[in-house]
Each structure stands twice: as C-alpha cells, then as structure tokens.
C-alpha cells in the first residue's frame, strides 16, 4: 500500500497527494492489529512528480528496483492517489479519449483501477465486504471498483468509475 507525499510545484498538495497519504496512514492505523496471510507494507514515496516523474529517481521506481535486488516477492501494489476531490456536478470530471468511454463525467466517487493483468487481484480483494461489486462492463475494459459518497454515507456504485485527477 503506498502513496507519494510530494506535489507538483505551485500546487498546495492537499489532493495530490496529501489525501493519499492520509488514507494510507488511516489504513495503517485501522490494520495495526490485523494478522494478514501475507506481509503488508505501507510505503510513502517522494519524487513522484516532475521533474522526477517517469525518471530513474522516482521514489517508487527506486523502491521497486531495490526490492527486486533483494529478491522480494511483491504480489500487489495499491497506490492511493488524489482521493480528496469531490463534486456531484454534472461534467465535473473529464478524460481524454478513449478513457472517456469508460469513466464517468461526475466526480463523486472513489475507484480502484487496475490494468488487465491485475484484474484478478482487484476483483478478489476483501473489499467485497463493503458492498463493492464487479463491474458489469465487458472484460476488455479496465477493471474498477467505486464508492459513491453522499450525505456523509458511502454506498457502492455500479458501473465504471475512476478517481478524479
């Protein structure tokens, strides 16, 4: 489970990505007494934004390379990113084509999004206890899970959803 704690120059960083850091800290607190079947790490990265983005000095890349050198067997990574933005206004969320075919135009949700190779992990997570259901979209679309937040309550939302950026 990870989040980055740097922000784009000139941005306050509350959403990108203070919100992800806060979520990771809360998950760590909530799971402090858990006895998971696998090792669970909470990792906080720096150098995720420009000028480091996609470079060799990205914090997550350096962590992954070090883990590979140590022959650690990491089976999943959940990146908590930009979770502090909400809007129930129509057309408050926009995506470039072809993402606009899969994701909604209202930014009132939190989603778990994965590439196709990670679909099984995102679909079999324990989040099913929270009422999250598999998307009814065709298998070729990116897998995702979402929650609708309204009136201080979190309820599951069906269909395709993504986190606002």
Is beta strand 144-150 parallel, antiparallel or unpaired with respect to 109-113?
Answer: antiparallel
- The answer to whether residue 81 sits within a structural domain is no
26: containing domain = 2-69
Is the residue at 74 inside a domain?
A: no
Per-residue pLDDT of the chain (165 residues; tens, 9 = 90+): 999 999 998 888 898 999 999 999 999 999 999 999 999 999 999 999 999 999 999 999 999 999 999 999 998 899 999 888 889 999 998 888 888 888 889 988 887 777 777 766 655 444 433 433 333 333 344 444 444 444 443 333 333 333 344
- Integer CA distances (angstroms), 11 to 16, 17, 18, 124, 138, in order: 8, 10, 11, 36, 37
pLDDT at 161: 38
Q: Identify whether the C-beta of residue 78 lies closer than 8 Å to the C-beta of residue 63.
A: no
Whether 6 and 62 map to the same domain: the answer is yes
Residue 139 lies in a domain: yes
pTM of the model: 0.67
Its sign, for the CA torsion 34, 35, 36, 39, is positive
Domain count, the chain: 2
Final residue of a domain: which of 51, 69, 87? 69
Looking at the domain assignment, is residue 130 inside a domain?
Answer: yes
85 in any annotated domain: no
Tell me if 77 is assigned to some domain.
no
Length of the chain: 165
Q: The tokens of 80 are what?
A: 């908590």
Nearest Cα to Cα of residue 76 among 145, 140, 122, 22: 122
Strand partners, 131: none
């Amino acid at each position: 489970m990870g989040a980055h704690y740097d922000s784009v120059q000139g941005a306050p960083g509350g959403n990108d990505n203070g919100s992800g850091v806060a979520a990771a800290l809360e998950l760590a607190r909530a799971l402090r007494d858990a006895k998971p079947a696998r090792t669970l790490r909470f990792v906080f990265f720096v150098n995720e934004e420009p000028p480091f983005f996609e470079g060799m000095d990205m914090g997550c890349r350096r962590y992954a390379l070090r883990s590979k050198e140590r022959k650690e067997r990491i089976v999943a990574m959940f990146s908590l990113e930009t979770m502090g933005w909400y809007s129930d206004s129509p057309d408050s969320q926009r995506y470039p084509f072809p993402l606009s075919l899969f994701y909604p135009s209202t930014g009132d949700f939190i989603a778990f999004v994965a590439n196709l190779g990670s679909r099984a992990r995102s679909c079999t997570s324990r989040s099913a206890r929270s009422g999250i259901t598999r998307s009814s979209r065709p298998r070729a679309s990116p897998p995702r899970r979402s929650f609708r937040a309204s009136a201080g309550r979190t309820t599951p939302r069906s269909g395709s959803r993504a986190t606002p950026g």
